[in-house]
Amino acid sequence: MSNPGLAPPGSTSTPDTPDLHVVLSANPADQAKRWRLHHQIWGEGFDLTLYLRREAALCEQDFCRNNLKMWLLCDAAGEVLASLETYASQFWSVDAEGKLAKLRGQTIGSVVVDPRLRNRGYASTLMDRVVAEEKLAGTQLTTLYSDVGPQMYRRSGHMLHPATEMARRVDAGVQWPAAVTELGMGDLADLLRADTEQQAAWLGASTVAAVTEIGKVEHVAWFHMRSQYRAWARGTTPTPVVGAATASDGWCLWTADTAEPVLHVLAWRPRGAAGAKQLTQACLAHAAERGLREVVWWDADRDTGLDPYHRLPHRPEGAEPRQRDKGLPMLAWLQPGSSFPLVWMGIERVGWR
């Protein structure tokens, strides 16, 4: 079964299962069992063999090797009842008094319970244990993105941040703009380093409490690997392109790793109206080339309040706002003395209030 030696076994209980244990690692057999369950729930469009190959490949990515913990809720016989994953992350934070700090966080993902065992409290039990143990380990905040709403997560201290998105349908035949270059993985190290420094400077000059996730190349590479496997599942050729940049007016990053034929913009950083127009066209052209029907930006229409110069937000040209009903973002402070930010901004989600 799993190796409980990475953490004290600890036990908790539910009315029908008196002896449950949380362990923090899994052998290949446990992983395969969990991934097969994932495929039943989230594997739309994937052949099972390809899906299992994808999950194994993702575990070999640096992002997973360096940051991933797999939590398994097991009964006394070692059967997996529920599981989730956490990914280590770092955040810049500024409080209401303007104090800048770097925070240690965890992002919670892939919360799953065997369908035969749902509505018995297993997911809540596991969430409570994860939050409690991460708090003892010094983790300062946890984040998650869920399609099923905040009810269970609120019980573990997570607060929903309502989000909107900008969307634009893709027209056939749209051309890549001449003044915009394609970005590959090798272009990102300096770009994300400068972005992190700029976000810290903006936060330091901000008049609002805020949190911003520090973007890492290995995280984008993880998204890119998911996107490659999604392309194979659709019967198309993966692309090495992960975003676009103008010569002097901004850049953006994207992924197409979901079941829907949609290009999701991970980071939207135009510096002016001209850059927003060019980058929008690049997003549309790349989506058209990949056979995708829509481009979606999260909250790219808002002034996040982080810019001390309060420049106008540069919306994607022709995109329309709509309320988000999937991937709802949530955050919980784990340490005493913290309050919820007015602004939360990250590499995946551009920003909201």
Which of 157, 220, 181 lies closest to 346 in space, CA to CA? 220
pLDDT reported for residue 181? 97
Q: Residues with Cβ < 8 Å from 151, sequence gap 6 or more?
A: none
pLDDT by residue (tens digit) across 72-100? 888 877 778 888 999 999 988 887 777 88
Residue 7 has pLDDT above 70, yes or no: no
Tokens of 135: 């708090």
8 A C-beta contact, residue 230 and residue 53: no
pLDDT tens, position by position, 286-332: 999 999 999 999 866 555 555 655 556 688 989 998 887 777 888 88
Residue 146 · residue 327 · CB < 8 Å: yes
Neighbours of 125 (CB within 10 A): 19
Q: Which tens digits make up the pLDDT trace of 272-298?
A: 889 999 999 999 999 999 999 999 998
Q: Quick check: 47 and 233 in contact, CB under 8 A?
A: yes
**pLDDT reading at 10 higher than 70:** no
pTM of this structure: 0.86
In CATH, what number does 4-143 get? 3.40.630.30
Question: 268 or 241: which carries more pLDDT confidence?
Answer: 241
**Residue type at 225 in one-letter notation:** M
Helix, strand, or coil (residue 102):
strand
Q: CA of 207: how far to CAs of 91, 97, 98, 341, in Å?
A: 18, 8, 7, 12
pLDDT-derived band at 11, boundaries 50, 70, 90? very low
| Tens of pLDDT, residues 42-75 | 899 999 999 999 999 998 999 998 888 888 888 8
CA triple 293-299-305, angle to 5 deg = 155
Q: Taking the domains of the chain in order of start, what are their residue ranges?
A: 4-143, 164-345
Q: Calculate what percentage of the chain has a pLDDT beyond 70.
A: 84
Q: Which residues pair with 162 in a beta bridge?
A: none
Residues 6 or more apart from 220 whose CB is under 8 A from it?
185, 188, 192, 242, 253, 266, 347
Distance CA 67, CA 90 (A): 11
Q: What is the pLDDT of residue 301?
A: 55
pLDDT number for residue 188: 96
What is the chain's length? 353
Give tens-digit pLDDT for 12-44: 444 354 356 666 666 777 788 888 888 988 899
- pLDDT computed for residue 55 by the predictor: 93
